[in-house]
Copies of this chain bind each other. A is one copy, B any other.
Amino acid sequence: MIIVMKPETPQETIDGMLEKIEAKGLKPLHMPGAERVVLGALGDERVLSELSFDADPHVESVKPILAPYKLVSRELHPHDTIVTVGDASFGGQRFGLVAGPCAVENETQLLASAKAAKDAGASVLRAGAYKPRTSPYSFQGRGPVGLEILADVGREVGLPVVTEVIETADVDLVASKADMLQVGARNMQNFALLKAVGAAGKPVFLKRGMSAKVDDLLLAAEYIMAAGCEDVILCERGIRTFETATRNTLDLAAVPLLKQKSHLPVVVDPSHGTGKRDLVAPMALAAAAAGADGVMVEVHFDPPAALSDGPQSLYPDQMKALGDRLKALLPVVGRTF
């Protein structure tokens, strides 16, 4: 940690800070310059976070040297983590295709949509039973009934299922029905929920928040791993920017960046990332080319009848075409489908 002091800081303030650094077991450094005094703290500076040196009015700025996370970091865990969900896996040579409708609406809808996903090569079925919606007047999901339908349809088509959990109280129930728990973008910093899903004994699919920096996402994953879960998949799904032509701005550069910083698999959701059906396939292919370990795509057997996310849901034939294009592209980037 580097601490830049304001001009004319009293020597006793500086001495006090150096003592605090030493008392925490770190090596203190004192660098007097022409215009500023700079202090350093070498060692595991994370122990200094509670000292909050930046709260001192003599401090101009504090610049960390080490990343604020550990468990998710590639530095201490150089090899890729492979997360297995049923017969699917993420993080190794195989590319994962998670597909399904936004929400469980009923058995007919889910089964038809799940078959479209499976036909296209999906290895995991997605569908929401609990739906966090911006407006209280929108469809809020089928809840426990939806969970049952999802589990039944997953069995019928032979795919493991992932579904979102939005409340700590529901974690056990969802974990008993689903093969993987999803934490949605709006809950990425719902820390109580992160701790609960991390302790549930299932793989966790963690979506990046709309205003989360890459480091915020990694710290959210750190919460989950700190709670005992080693199988976390990170999902880039678009961030909120000034651009309104797309629902979100899909930050694909986050894919190779996350892979550098962390050993966890990275999946891309081009459906929420763009909000537009016509942009989903190009962005799914781009994600694969950028090195993603998989994509999550929304497909509905009849999008105009969908109770949510219809505009970004693929038709079954579009889903099939995307599966075929992924199959052709993946070998070029050293993957198989």
Give me the interface of A with B, judged by CB distance under 8 Å: 2, 4, 7, 27, 29, 31-36, 38, 40, 42-44, 46, 49-50, 52-57, 63, 65-66, 68-69, 75, 132-140, 166-169, 186-187, 189-192, 209-211, 213-216, 219, 222-223, 226, 239-246, 249-257, 260, 270, 273-274, 276-279, 282-283, 285-291, 303-308, 310-311, 313, 325, 328-329, 332-333
Contacts and interface: CB of A to CB of B under 8 A. Distances in A.
Contact of A306 (B55, B189, B210, B214): B55
Contact of A50 (B29, B55, B139, B190): B139
- What are the 4 A-B residue pairs with the smallest beta carbon separation, nearest first? A55-B310, A211-B211, A33-B42, A289-B289
Contacts of A38: 2, 40, 42, 65
Contacts of A291: 282
A211 B190 contact: no
Given A55-B303, A332-B332, A4 B65 contact: yes
Contacts of A226: 136
19 contacts: A27-B33, A31-B40, A35-B66, A38-B65, A49-B135, A50-B139, A55-B310, A55-B313, A57-B277, A57-B304, A135-B219, A136-B219, A136-B226, A140-B191, A246-B257, A249-B249, A253-B274, A253-B279, A282-B290
Nearest to A47: B137
Nearest to A191: B132
Given A49-B137, A50-B139, A285-B289, 19 more contacts: A34-B43, A52-B304, A54-B311, A55-B303, A166-B190, A169-B169, A211-B239, A213-B242, A215-B245, A239-B241, A239-B242, A241-B241, A241-B242, A243-B251, A252-B283, A253-B274, A256-B278, A286-B286, A329-B332
B216 A134 contact: yes
A178 B34 CA distance: 43
B135 A222 contact: yes
Contact of A286 (B190, B192, B252): B252
Chain B CB within 10 A, most for which of A191, A288, A303 = A191
B249 A68 contact: no
Contacts of A209: 211
A310 to B, nearest CB: 2
A213 B247 CA distance: 13
A63 B244 CA distance: 14
A12 B250 CA distance: 36
Q: Which of A7, A244, A286 has the largest number of chain B CB atoms within 10 A?
A: A286
Nearest to A260: B278
Contact of A166 (B2, B54, B192, B219): B192
Nearest to A313: B55
B133 A191 contact: yes
Contacts of A253: 246, 249-250, 270, 273-274, 279, 282-283
